[in-house]
Structure 1
Amino acid sequence: MSAALESFRTTLAHLLLPHGPAVAATASSYAPGDYSIHFFLQLAIIILACRVVGWIGERFLGQPQVVGEMIAGVLLGPSLLGLIWPDLQLAIFPKETKNVLYAGSQLGVALYMFLVGLTLRLDHFESKARSAAAVSASGVIAPFLIAAAFTPFLLDVPGLFAPTVSTANATLFMGACIALTAFPMLARIINERGLADSPLGTLSLSAGAFDDAASWCVLAIVLATFGGGPGVAILAIGGAVLYSGFLLIFGRRILAPLGRAVEAEGSMSMGVLAITLMAFCLSAFIMDSIGIHGIFGGFILGVFMPRGLFAQELKAKVEPVAVVLLLPMFFTYSGLNTRLDMVNSPSLLLIALGILAASIAAKFGACYIAARLCGEDKPTALGIGALMNSRGLMELIIINIGLQKGIIGPTLFSMLVLMAIVTTMMASPLFELVYGRKARQTGVLDSMGAVSPQA
């Protein structure tokens, strides 16, 4: 069996690597056809791995499909496949092709968040505005206070931060990492649990969006003061406010004709679909170009899109491709940049566990208390805290930026990866424990997880 596997691995490496398994090709030696060969094989393997691992997670671990997809991405990277069969992993995912996979991953996650914005119930948000604002504020303030308390101790540990990073920048960066909520994963869990139309789902999504936007703005400030220049922060924060304000004032009025056209024809024509997707791409481009992230461009445009038949038709046409084909690329790309073997001593493990505990207290605890103070019942407040505590691959994005910019070292990067994985995996079972079971017993959720008409 091992001989056959070794033969397959070597043959695949010879087929896919222009110079064989031992020598990686340079980018200049890649012709356009070489990229397409890898891309189609990568997509096939990514889809297979995500569906299989997702099914295993759902069937045996009670995890939603999205968590299985995140784990599948890590398994396809250097943490497992690259550790066991490095030549095979290099043959399937050579570094020269990562830019192509990155572009596809950004399209997938931004398009999915566009659909999430399309399902957001603004009437629920308006009824829960006070709670959403309080949960969002607590989910930002508490992480930064906790980061201010322990970051000076982390600075004394060699290799965690770059020597040139100031205490202020290190604190802001750690606060942003802890304050993050896994917005794409949060949306996926809420959708899969049938909570997209519920007040709890709307409150959690709204608070998560604000927290992530605040974290990205803080990151922009850190990059500006760390060497990017003040223009980075001004463009990111000012541009986001201006664009959001423009859509708030004019968005519905500009986009309303699309909804009327669909209602008049009884279906969505290819022309209306093309205009909609063009608007989505431009919105993602605007937010990406100002330094926030394309997913927020997709999400905020979706919030102001027409509802009714327009939303139903758009979801029917776009959602299957976005969820099954495109979104798994986002998880795999992040997994290719993840290493789980960097925390390799008792002292470092103790620090990693301390960061994990502080992160859970800052997010789960603070959001729970804020929701209770705003009048939410205990199960709902606990459910909100469980969902907001998930970090997911948004965390991997921001810490990859920190690593690439020289703010943090590989060891702290690995600790934060560990924190992201643990808080993400605990989100769904914890939510089920504190909210899901009771909600089904009381009839708020049916047996399949969907919100009942009375909810």
Structure 2
Amino acid sequence: MPISQLSVYFFAQAAVIVAASQLVGRLAGRVGQPQVVGEMIAGVLLGPSLFGLLLPHWQQALFPKATMGMLYVAAQLGVGLYMFLVGTGFRAKHFRARARSALSVSLAGIVVPFALAFALAPWLLTIPGLFAIKARLFEASLFLGAAIAITAFPMLARIIHERGLAGTSLGTLALTAGACDDAAAWCILAIVLASFGGSWMGAYTAIGGGVCFALFMIFAGNKLLRRLAEGLNPDAPLPSSVLAIVLVLFSLCAFAMDAIGIHAVFGGFLLGVALPRGPLTEKLRDMLEPFVVVFLLPMFFTYSGLNTRLDMLIDPAIMLAAVAILLASFGGKGIACWAAARLNGEPSGDAMAIGALMNARGLMELIIINIGLAAGVILPGLFSILVLMAVLSTLMATPLFNWIVRRQEGMRSAVAR
């Protein structure tokens, strides 16, 4: 397809994607769901599961296969910049505040899902359409465990902020445990990606390079980047030269992570973590977040939706696998985190709230499974199951958490009377 035609398709796709995301996102907001949930659903609706089912010719005309590479690049840019913004909001103090309880909750939320994944993987490998033929049992188990164990850290932070729980015991514990879970899941995903080619030398390069890069960014990068923040006027706009330097650094960090065999999103996130907090990160979020969230990130959701084939669940074997994975995901993660919180002396209501929050996967799940699909570790069948799991777990999180909080408030009011 000529380059001039690609640009025509891109702008048409962008118009439809942004409009659909806003429409479904606002509808989600009216029923008490975060807008990002609606945007995730919009991405699935634009794919073969609905748009392609009802109007297949129109769907193919708007999203021909020849344009998928272009949409993929836009989607990766969007999710990379979004993870950079998530990194700028990361607070190390959450780790120090509730380290013991948070590590226990996080450990439970990792160990139990991985145990279930290792139990399910031998059976799932026998079902066609889930894992790649060359995927080994160890790799399949690790990938499924990471997919089940991941937590929607950005969404968790948003719920806690909206409920005014950011500085509370519950909010701090949930944020710390969620951050630990995600860090562990990303490290394990890096192992899977590095070893999938069959050469552990590649795994050593990726893991060693990733660890060295992370340590450099956290300990040395932060000091070097402070120069960018020096002399910034909190009341003045961010100079274009500073923005340009940050975007160059973002691109280089993303390139470095891709080059060693991990993934570009790691580079963006670590750069965000390393940037000094204050006017610099606040102004960067003010400048970048609206465009990234409204324009670029929906392209990632749509790219995910275009690879989602919910009609594959009609196959009895895949449907049975979907039920097993959903039960392992919801039960393993939520119950394990609730039990760990209770064993560490947390009140029953707080423990239930933590279990509900930690069970949401959201965008983080979509990032992991898109990486797995692009690397050839998983096939469309498992990808579709895990998209469904991401949507359902995220849909459940907010109403369940709100119900638990209202229940606690009602019990306090009854005791006060």
The two structures have a TM-score, normalised by structure 2, of 0.87
* Aligned residues of 1:391 and 1:420 also touching (Cα < 8 A): yes
Distance in 2 (CA, whole Å) between partners of 1:232 and 1:62 is 46
Pairwise CA distance, 1:192: 5.5
Matched with 2:324 is: 354
- The equivalent residue for 1:53 is 24
2:244 — aligned with what? 274
Match of 1:39 in 2: 10
Equivalent residues of 1:217, 1:236 under 8 A apart: no
Q: How does 1:173-188 map to 2 (within 5 A)?
A: 173-187=143-157
Q: Larger Cα Rg: Structure 1 or Structure 2?
A: 1
From 259, 279, 284, the counterpart of 2:229: 259
Matched, 1:102 2:72: yes
- Write the mapping of 1:193-208 to structure 2, written as runs, cut at 5 A: 200=170, 203-208=173-178
| 1:414-425 equivalence runs, <5 A | 414-425=384-395
Task: Compute the displacement of 1:118 (Å).
Answer: 1.8
1:86-115 per-position Cα deviation (integer Å, ceiling 9, x unaligned): 121122112211222222222222222222
Against the structure 1 CA distance between its residues 34 and 187, is the aligned structure 2 distance closer, same or farther, given a 3 Å change threshold?
Answer: farther
* Cα separation, partners in 2 of 1:121 and 1:401, compared to 1, 3 Å: closer
Separation in structure 2 between the aligned mates of residue 362 and residue 169 of structure 1, nearest angstrom: 20
CA deviations on 1:402-422 (whole Å, 9 max, x unpaired) are 456555454444333332222
Deviations 1:114-166 (A, max 9, x none): 22222233323321233333333222211111122233333454554455544
Q: 1:263 and 1:95, CA in 2 relative to 1: closer, same or farther beyond 3 A?
A: same
Q: 1:186 to 1:327 in 2, by over 3 A?
A: farther
Distance in structure 2 (CA, Å) of the matches to 1:104 and 1:371: 40
1:433 to 400, 403, 416: 403
Determine if contact 2:312/2:318 at 8 Å carries over to the other structure.
no
* AA at the equivalent of 2:325: I
Matches within 5 A, 1:211-250: 211-250=181-220
Match of residue 288, structure 2, among 296, 303, 318: 318
Structure 1: how far apart are the matches of 2:199 and 2:114? 23
Does the CA contact (< 8 Å) of 2:338 and 2:351 recur in 1? yes
Aligned-pair CA distance for 1:72: 0.4
Instruction: State the Cα RMSD in Å.
Output: 3.0
1:226-261 deviations in whole A, cap 9, x for unaligned?
Answer: 434113322332122111211222132111122222
The more displaced of 331-340 and 235-244 is: 235-244
Cα deviation, residue 320, structure 1 = 1.4
- Is the Cα–Cα contact under 8 Å of residues 154 and 160 in structure 1 kept in the other structure? yes
Q: Check whether the contact 1:76–1:335 (CA below 8 A) recurs between aligned residues.
A: yes
Q: Residue in 2 aligned with 1:168?
A: 138
What's the offset of the Cα at 1:285? 2.5
CA offsets 1:150-207 (integer angstroms, 9 cap, x no match): 3333345455445554433332232222122234544555566566666655554554
Check the 8 A contact 1:119/1:196 in 2, yes or no: no
For 2:235 and 2:187, how far apart are their aligned partners in 1? 42
Counterpart residue identity of residue 102, structure 2: A
User: Does the CA contact (< 8 Å) of 1:118 and 1:307 recur in 2?
Assistant: yes
- Deviation, structure 1 residue 375: 4.2
Read off the aligned partner of 1:56 and give its amino acid letter: L
* Cα offset, 1:37, TM superposition: 1.0
Q: Return the alpha-carbon distance in structure 1 between the equivalents of residues 121 and 275 of structure 2.
A: 42
**1:328: how far off?**
1.3
**Which of 154, 158, 161 pairs up with 2:124?**
154
2: CA distance, partners of 1:168 / 1:395: 20
The CA deviation at 1:334 is: 0.9
Change (3 A) 1:96 1:224: same
User: How far off is 1:65 after superposition?
Assistant: 0.1
Q: Does 1:308 align with 2:288?
A: no
Relative to structure 1, the CA distance from residue 305 to residue 378 in structure 2 (aligned partners, 3 Å threshold; closer, same or farther) is farther
Structure 2 match to 1:62: 32
2:60 aligned partner, one-letter code:
L
Distance 2:152 2:390 in 1: 9
Number of equivalences: 413
Report the Cα distance in structure 1 between the residues aligned to 2:254 and 2:84, rounded to whole angstroms: 9
- What is the CA-CA distance between 1:439 and the residue it aligns to? 6.9
Cα distance in structure 2, aligned partners of 1:300 and 1:439: 38
Distance in 1 separating the partners of 2:179 and 2:386: 21
1:298 alignment counterpart? 268
Deviations 1:277-313 (A, max 9, x none): 2222222332333333333322222223222222332
Does residue 339 (structure 1) correspond to residue 309 (structure 2)? The answer is: yes
- Which SS does the other structure have where 1:227 is aligned? coil
Q: Is the Cα–Cα contact under 8 Å of residues 307 and 380 in structure 2 kept in the other structure?
A: no
Q: Structure 2 vs 1, CA of residues 190 and 290 (structure 1 numbering), >3 Å: closer, same or farther?
A: farther
1:267 Cα offset (Å): 4.1
Separation of aligned partners in 2, 1:375 and 1:435 = 18
Q: Does 1:384 align with 2:354?
A: yes
Please say if residues 340 and 417 of structure 1, whose CA atoms lie closer than 8 Å, have aligned partners that are also in contact.
no
Q: Deviations over 1:384-440 (max 9, x none)?
A: 322221223443444455456555454444333332222122122222222377579
> In structure 2, what residue type is equivalent to 1:286?
A
The corresponding residue for 1:81 is: 51
List runs of 5+ in structure 2 lacking aligned partners: none
Query: Counterpart of 1:101 in 2: which secondary structure?
Result: helix
Between the aligned partners of 1:287 and 1:198, the Cα distance in structure 2 is 35
Please say if residues 181 and 392 of structure 1, whose CA atoms lie closer than 8 Å, have aligned partners that are also in contact: yes
**Counterpart-to-counterpart distance in 2, 1:200 and 1:106:** 33
Identity of aligned residues (%): 55
Moved more, 212-221 or 292-301: 212-221
